[in-house]
């Protein structure tokens, strides 16, 4: 009885979820696609993932030490950032470049703006763009799966239509970034996150749906547009980042559709190699305005 009557300040009920448990779920959801990438691209892929994760965690640790802040590597967010970055890189990228990317993601994009929950864009995505702009040659070389001696191959989006069958595309037997090849495994990860209630499916559905619809209207190859390139990885794991996506359901719909339109426009009309990254970054920047525009009105309040 004494326990029940204890007087304390709110919150009185706590959900067992913590940052670490959510990040753990994300890592678990990413791992099938990551492991598949390692099988597909060999030892270099393993090294790349290890480099990204270790340098991201190290960067976070060193920053906290230097600024005498409480250590935050235990919340696993740096691990997720490193893993996401690695999955967005081609296996042809040198390890030191990947390490620079991790440092940019953690120090410049995340910690300089206030750490977890304050980054204005997705750190892994921004780091990928920084690498892409800095080392355009190295970042756009893609190895053909397993046949390690073959130097370059275009990703399915660049390839002439029809060269890759739907089956190969869906299960990921083609060139591309480490973790983006297998739409099937990424979808499994996404479904897991939705079931665990880590993410809501609104943003991925709107994002992918918009791209599919627009490419259908424009007469493009819908299957290649949806299952090729970084769309699955971006829509499920990058666009749903808590800090950089809208909080309201209506906002999430706007965000997803906006990402879809931008991706389509960039893929169709621009000379850039990857539309998804830029689309997500641009929409990330708009999130505060979307949040403001779609804010819930308290009941009974007059405008």
Partner 1 sequence: MKKGYLSYLTNGFIKENPVLRLVLGTCPTLAVTTAAINGIGMGVSATIVLVCSNIVISLLRNVIPDKVRIPAFITVIAGFVSVVQMLVKAFLPSIDTALGIYLPLIVVNCIILARAEMFASKNSVVPSILDGLGMGIGFTAVLTLMGAIRELLGAGTVFGLSVTSQFISPMIVFLLPPGGFFVFGILVAASNAIAKKNGKKIVEHLGCENCPSKAMCQNASKCEEVTADE
Site residues (vs partner 1, CB under 8 A): 96, 100, 108, 130, 133-138
Residue 74 or 94 with smaller CB distance to partner 1? 94
Contacts of 257 (CB under 8 A, 6+ apart): 206, 207, 210
The alpha carbons of the chain give a radius of gyration, in whole angstroms, of 20
Burial of 104 (C-beta count, 10 Å sphere; 0-12/13-18/19+): buried
For 177, phi then psi, to 5°, come to -70, 160
In the bound complex, what is the minimum distance in angstroms from residue 64's beta carbon to partner 1? 19
- Provide the 8-state DSSP code for 177: B
d(CA 93, CA 190): 26
In the bound complex, what is the minimum distance in angstroms from residue 97's beta carbon to partner 1? 8
Q: Which residue has the tokens 């749903």?
A: 240
In the bound complex, what is the minimum distance in angstroms from residue 238's beta carbon to partner 1? 20
In the bound complex, what is the minimum distance in angstroms from residue 130's beta carbon to partner 1? 6
d(CA 263, CA 267): 6
In the beta sheet, which residues pair with residue 156?
A: none
In the bound complex, what is the minimum distance in angstroms from residue 283's beta carbon to partner 1? 18
Residue 48 or 223 with smaller CB distance to partner 1? 48
In the bound complex, what is the minimum distance in angstroms from residue 196's beta carbon to partner 1? 36
Residue 111 or 225 with smaller CB distance to partner 1? 111
Residue 1 or 137 with smaller CB distance to partner 1? 137
On whether the CB atoms of residues 224 and 169 are closer than 8 A, the answer is yes
Residue 127 or 206 with smaller CB distance to partner 1? 127
In the beta sheet, which residues pair with residue 303?
A: none
Residue 85 or 211 with smaller CB distance to partner 1? 85
What DSSP line would sit under 118-179, residue for residue?
Answer: T-SS-HHHHHHHHHHHH-HHHHT--PPSS-TT------TTTSPTTSS-HHHHHHT-S-SBTT
Residue 96 or 148 with smaller CB distance to partner 1? 96
In the bound complex, what is the minimum distance in angstroms from residue 134's beta carbon to partner 1? 4
d(CA 294, CA 273): 33
In the beta sheet, which residues pair with residue 43?
A: none
């Amino acid at each position: 009885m004494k326990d029940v009557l204890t007087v304390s300040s709110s919150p009185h009920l706590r959900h067992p979820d913590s940052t670490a448990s959510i990040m753990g779920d994300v890592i678990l959801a990413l791992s099938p696609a990551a492991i598949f990438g390692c099988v597909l691209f060999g030892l270099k892929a393993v090294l790349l993932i290890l480099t990204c994760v270790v340098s991201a965690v190290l960067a976070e640790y060193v920053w906290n030490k230097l600024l005498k802040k409480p250590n935050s590597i235990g919340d696993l967010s740096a691990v997720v950032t490193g893993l996401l970055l690695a999955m967005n890189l081609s296996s042809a990228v040198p390890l030191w470049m990947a390490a620079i990317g991790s440092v940019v993601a953690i120090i410049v994009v995340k910690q300089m703006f206030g750490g977890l929950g304050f980054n204005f864009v997705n750190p892994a995505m921004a780091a990928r763009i920084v690498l892409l702009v800095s080392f355009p040659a190295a970042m756009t070389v893609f190895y053909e799966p397993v046949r390690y001696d073959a130097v370059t191959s275009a990703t399915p989006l660049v390839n002439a239509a029809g060269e890759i069958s739907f089956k190969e595309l869906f299960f990921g037997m083609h060139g591309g970034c480490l973790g983006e090849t297998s739409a099937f495994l990424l979808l499994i990860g996404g479904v897991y996150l939705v079931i665990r209630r880590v993410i809501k499916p609104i943003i991925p559905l709107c994002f992918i749906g918009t791209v599919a619809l627009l490419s259908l209207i424009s007469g493009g190859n819908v299957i290649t547009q949806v299952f090729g390139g970084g769309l699955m990885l971006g829509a499920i794991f990058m666009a749903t980042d808590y800090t950089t996506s809208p909080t309201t359901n209506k906002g999430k719909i706007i965000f997803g559709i906006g990402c879809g339109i931008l991706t389509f426009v960039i893929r169709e009309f621009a000379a850039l190699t990857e539309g998804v990254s830029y689309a997500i970054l641009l929409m990330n920047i708009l999130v505060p305005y979307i949040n403001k525009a779609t804010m819930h009105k308290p009941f009974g309040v007059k405008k």
